[in-house]
Amino acid sequence: MTSPGRTDALDRPPRMAVGWPASNEEDVVEDATHGPDPGPIMQLGLGFWGSKTLLSAIELGVFTELGGGPERFDALTGRLGLHERSARDFLDGLVALGMLERDGDRYANTPSTDLFLDRNKPSYIGGMLEMANARLYGFWGSLTEALRTGQAQNETKHGAANPFEAIYADPATLAGFLKAMTGISRGIALAIADRFPWADHETYFDLGTAQGDMPVQVALAHPHISGGGMDLPVVAPHFEAHVAANGLTDRLRFEPGSFFTDPLPRADVLSMGHILHDWNLEEKMTLLSRAYDALPEGGALIVFDSMIDDERRRNAFGLMMSLNMLIETPGGFDYTGADCQRWMREVGFRETRVEHLVGPDSMAVGIK
């Protein structure tokens, strides 16, 4: 939270996705000489244009199609099944948004979109954005109602007891959700595998593990670590397939159950990633308390989420993620690193710390 950065965030709106770069510099000058510039307001307000354009590009498989190399306009639009009317505006729009490159008539992925948005690459992180396109974009259309009522606006509006019941009920939705979680957590898993003092511990279980990418990345980086992941029974085949694909079946096992009602696995280290923000305060405290009870003396709990900065004025993504919990859950909300450390101490952890990981995510570590 450097104060230059904070000043930046307060004194002028951040630059928007759908900008008008041709005149940005001029605008800044005009801004200084002729008072406030409406540009940033219009760009944020209409920012859903650029956002939905990328989501549709992922849905249409643009980046997967270009994963094989650059393609000419006609061949590309033909294979993507794009109507001629707006195909060029769509692709050139992706160029202007920095998601594609264009050389003459040939379109190509950028290094980033080639690595992260080609479904055929293991580094694909588009699952979360596929879910955003298929579910969240529409649900967020009811944000105003959510803000007035405090009620979720997703499948639960139509009878599901909680979003997971709805997501877990349909095999295709479940598979997509679990892959999505792996996609958005991969960079975090690598950071934790790299920065946490694993040498001091031998066993590790991840709670609400989905495909189990957290234990997989930790086990791959630290051959002395064994353990596994806990999630609802329906998740088992997805976990076992991912672990087997990484050749870790001998060291990582699946523990079926609910982290609210079933005994938690015994291990030196437990983690909850993108879990705590799904639940209300009472449920959060229950989860932290159950983790504390399951740990041995000297054991550690790792909690990570898109933690909001302690002053609640800089991590816009963390604050928007909390509004996403409003849209998606009955009582979930995101929180600051200070909140998480306070809760950890309330349930008994004697030592706590917070470390920034990657992007909007930070981890809080509690030592019993």
Residues between 146 and 165 that touch a second copy (CB under 8 A): 146-150
> Binding a second copy by CB under 8 A: which of 28, 241, 244, 358?
358
Q: Is 34 a catalytic residue?
A: no
Q: Mark the segment that binds a second copy (CB under 8 A) among 35-43, 174-182, 208-216, 286-294.
A: 35-43
Please give the structure tokens belonging to residue 19.
Answer: 């900008």
Rounded CA-CA distance 263/255 in Å is 10
Write down the least CB distance from residue 171 to a second copy, Å.
23
Residues 36-55, interacting with a second copy (CB under 8 A)? 36-55
Write down the least CB distance from residue 225 to a second copy, Å. 23
Annotated active-site residue in 222, 238, 277, 356: 277
Window 219 to 278, contacts with a second copy (CB under 8 A): none
Nearer to a second copy, 226 or 336 (CB): 336
300 beta partners: 269, 367
* Region of 25-33, 221-229, 282-290, 292-300 interacting with a second copy (CB under 8 A): 25-33
Residues 74, 89, 200, 346: which binds a second copy (CB under 8 A)? Answer: 89
Residue 7 near a second copy by CB under 8 A: no
Tokens 């306009």 belong to: 73
Name every residue whose Cβ is closer than 8 Å to that of residue 227 and which is 6 or more positions away in sequence.
Answer: 203, 204, 205, 206, 215, 219, 251, 252, 253, 265, 267, 269
Look at strands 71-72 and 252-256 and give their pairing: unpaired
Instruction: Answer yes or no: are the C-beta atoms of 313 and 320 closer than 8 Å.
Output: no
Q: What are phi and psi of 63, to 5 degrees?
A: -75, -30
Give the start-end residues of each E strand in 114-256. 203-207, 226-231, 252-256
Minimum separation from the CB atom of position 31 to a second copy (A): 9
Binding test (CB under 8 A) with a second copy, winner from 72, 74, 78, 112: 112
State in angstroms the smallest separation of the CB of 344 from a second copy: 21
67 binding a second copy? (CB under 8 A)? no
Q: At what angle do helices 87-96 and 73-80 cross, to 10 degrees?
A: 110
* Rounded Cα distance, 174 and 187, in Å: 22
Q: Site for a second copy (CB under 8 A): which residue of 67, 360, 364, 368?
A: 360
Contacts of 152 (CB under 8 A, 6+ apart): 146, 163, 326, 327, 328, 329, 330
Judged by CB under 8 A, the stretch of 8-16, 174-182, 205-213, 266-274 that binds a second copy is: 8-16
For a second copy (CB under 8 A), the number of binding residues is 116
Q: Which two tokens stand for residue 268?
A: 């030196």
Q: Could you give the residue ranges of the DSSP H alpha helices within 196-336? A: 213-221, 236-245, 281-294, 316-328
For the CB of residue 7, give the shortest distance to a second copy in the complex, in Å. 11
Verify binding: residue 320, a second copy, rule CB under 8 A: yes
Query: Which of 362, 364, 271, 365 has its CA nearest to residue 321?
Result: 362
Shortest CB 156 distance to a second copy, Å: 14
Of the listed pieces 139-147, 206-214, 218-226, 341-349, which binds a second copy according to CB under 8 A? 139-147
Does position 279 interact with a second copy (CB under 8 A)? The reply is no
In angstroms, the CA 11 to CA 14 distance is 9
Question: What is the rounded CA–CA span in Å between residue 141 and residue 137?
Answer: 7
CB of 197 vs a second copy, minimal distance in Å: 21
Q: Per rule CB under 8 A, is residue 208 in the interface with a second copy?
A: no
Residue from 66, 76, 132, 178 touching a second copy (CB under 8 A): that is 132
- Does 61 engage in binding with a second copy (CB under 8 A)? no
The catalytic residue positions are 277
